[in-house]
Amino acid sequence: MKKILSFIVLSCAVLSAYGSALVNVYGRQYRLLNGRWDAIVDLYDQGGRMKVYENRQPEGETDFYEYAFDGGLRLEVPGDWNSQNPELKYYEGTVWYGRHFDAEPQQGKREILYFGAVSYRCNVYLNGRFIGSHEGGFTPFEIDVTDDLKRGDNFLVVEVNNRRTKDAIPALAFDWWNYGGITRDVMLVTVPDNYVHDYKVQLDKHKPDLINIEVKMSEPVAGQSVKVEIPGLKKRFEAVTDENGEVQGAMNVKNLKRWAPDAPVLYDVTVTGGDDRVEERIGFRNIEVDGTRILINGEPRFMRCISFHEEIPQRMGRAFSKADATMLLSEARDLGVNMIRLAHYPQNEYTVRMAEEMGILLWQEIPIWQGIDFTDAGTLEKAKGMLTEMISRDRNRCAVGFWGVANETKPGEARDAFLRELLSTGRAIDTTRLYVAAFDLVEFDRDRKVFSMNDPFTENLDVVAVNKYMGWYHPWPLSPEKAVWDVNPDKPLIISEFGGEALYGQSGSEDIVSSWSEDYQARLYRDNIEMFSHIPNLAGVSPWILFDFRSPFRFHPVNQEGWNRKGLVSDRGQRKKAWYLMRDYYKSKRDAEK
Ligand code: GCB
């Protein structure tokens, strides 16, 4: 039985094989297996017992099967099932996806089945045989199917399940829609027998003219020749692999134009190893912390950030395409941001790559979101796997400046040990990004008359982030112009969430929270913006959130109807009053840096 790479720990490899799928999959030779798949909804999980993955047809006079893929429900892949069929809007359970495809295996080539993401867990079967499984709804995985593919017709089945469980990540309750399905591209990738599996081509953390290089071939064989070329810099790096099939090195570059938010510069890069050759565009930039400041290419930059979920509100479905990325990112850009916090999980590669092309820095995180069982060893392994898969997919993306490891966790021995291990897993793969987590424990200290937080774990992070809903979940204990902060004064602090709900078009008192009005929301934004000038170590802010989004725990029948209404933009795309305030604030911040 073939194993997929997820969750397998290989301790000392340079490039951890732990959960990492083929890097730069869109730069390979591939065939999309997207389109309409047949589907069987399996509410009681009976399909396994019935072996529906064998897709048998009755033979003879007495034979019959109580299932068939043919002639039933059909679902679009990629896509969540919730938005495709009214009966599946709230569905949490199993759906079996099946499809035929033709293959033509070639001598000297390997065929890799690659899933951009399946939400949340799945088993995969090819031609009636189990070939692999994966858990985690937002990261890619692959299965080498070279030995299982038949010439001509093949039948692929994916058993997808999105039931919430205590040991899952995220766990039992989270403030976004639990979309299920094959939610990103499915690809059959053809590579040479021995191929470039992984590489990193990125600027040194501190040096503006040193590009560090790591390449890993699929075969752990010494003496293979590897080349990395950057024609735009007239540079070529050549080396031979060690016995792990790996190469590490560096090259000095002159006249490098570094990528920066608002000034994206990308270079064509070619990686050649044996008979394989992969191309892509890569940018180079430095990001580091100096005291309480975040430096990009040596310059202090204020992070003008926004968050969005991977959701298109207008169709109440998960975003998955280039067109979706364009919609989300152009609305963010119009607000004047230089950074996006991709809430609350790794988002699709189209979004990440397009943000990079547009010159928008990214904070990408795994869904360690409240309510995680930090005592569970299995959960920790999953978290490490997700972090590894996220970093492995995107560590050549210079747009990614921050890896987020947690959102709103409470101090405690189990949590601290869990997060500490996550950080060391991340830092073992990538030391060049800033590690961050968001906390919601800032309190007003009535004696000292300052906002403060006591969570010693923050010392382990490069940047501390705080979600604080002043004027919404917390009434102001004093007026915003007196709201002074003393939170991790020696580190950069990002206000990673603030905001309040408003129903688009609703006018009401700007003094009454429950007016759910744009007027109250705008006032809340004015007050928070005032408070920001009393946070000495403030390195950036990020309103929660760009768009209203679907949430199962927003019960108000008039003002919410299953939507979290904290968007600066409504579910129909209309901008609320607070959007304009934020745009003006960001403009003033940008002008101040000129
Ligand atoms: C938070 C969470 C975010 C929620 C938000 C809210 O603190 O991090 O995921 O959606 O609050 O609206 O309550």
Mean pLDDT in order along the chain per 10 residues (594 residues): 36 43 97 98 98 96 97 98 98 98 96 98 98 98 97 98 98 98 98 97 96 97 97 97 98 96 96 96 98 97 98 98 98 98 98 98 98 97 98 98 98 98 97 98 97 97 98 98 98 98 98 98 98 98 98 97 98 98 98 92
Terminal alpha carbon distance of the chain: 59
What count of other Cβ atoms lies within 10 Å of the Cβ of residue 179?
A: 22
Q: Is the CB of 544 under 6 A from ligand 1?
A: yes
Kindly give the number of the ligand 1 atom that is closest to the alpha carbon of 175.
10
Pocket test for ligand 1, best of 441, 544, 546, 555 (most atoms within 8 A of CB): 544
DSSP secondary structure code for residue 258 in this structure: P
State how far the Cα of 545 lies from the Cα of 451, in Å rounded to an integer: 23
* Bond before 120 cis per omega within 30 degrees: yes
CA dihedral 341→183→185→547, nearest 10 degrees, is -40
Instruction: Kindly state if the Cβ of 311 falls inside 6 Å of ligand 1.
Output: no
3-state class (DSSP) for residue 400: strand
Q: How far apart are CA 251 and CA 266, in angstroms?
A: 17
Q: Is the CB of 365 under 6 A from ligand 1?
A: no
Ligand 1 atom closest to residue 344's alpha carbon, by position in its atom list: 9
pLDDT score recorded for residue 6: 36
Pairing of the two strands 196-203 and 210-217: antiparallel
Q: What are phi and psi of 334, to 5 degrees?
A: -60, -25
How far is residue 225 CA from its own chain's centroid?
33
Q: Which amino acid, residue 552?
A: P
* CB of 71 closer than 8 Å to CB of 126: no
DSSP strands (E only) in 303-373 = 303-308, 311-312, 317-318, 339-342, 361-365
Quick check: 416 and 447 in contact, CB under 8 A? no
Q: What is the pLDDT of residue 262?
A: 84
pLDDT of residue 19: 63
Q: Is 226 helix (H, G, I), strand (E, B) or coil?
A: strand
pLDDT of residue 11: 31
Instruction: Check whether the bond before 543 is cis (ω within 30° of 0).
Output: no
Could you give the count of Cα atoms lying within 13 Å of 233 in the half-sphere of its Cβ?
A: 27
467 lines ligand 1 (CB under 6 A): yes
For residue 293, report the distance from its CA to the centre of ligand 1, in Å: 26
**Which contiguous run of DSSP H or E holds residue 465?**
strand 463-467
Residue entry with tokens 């424990």: 441
Residue 462 CA to residue 207 CA, distance in Å, equals 18
Give the residue, by CA position, lying nearest to ligand 1 atom 4.
175
Between the CA of 176 and the centroid of ligand 1 the distance, in Å, is 9
Which segments within 56-192 are labelled E, that is strand?
A: 73-77, 94-103, 109-115, 121-126, 129-135, 141-144, 152-161, 186-192
Atom of ligand 1 nearest to the CA of 174: 9
The pLDDT of residue 9 is: 32
233: left (phi over 0), alpha (psi -120 to 50) or beta: alpha
- Both tokens of 319, joined, read 């975003």
Q: What is the pLDDT of residue 594?
A: 85
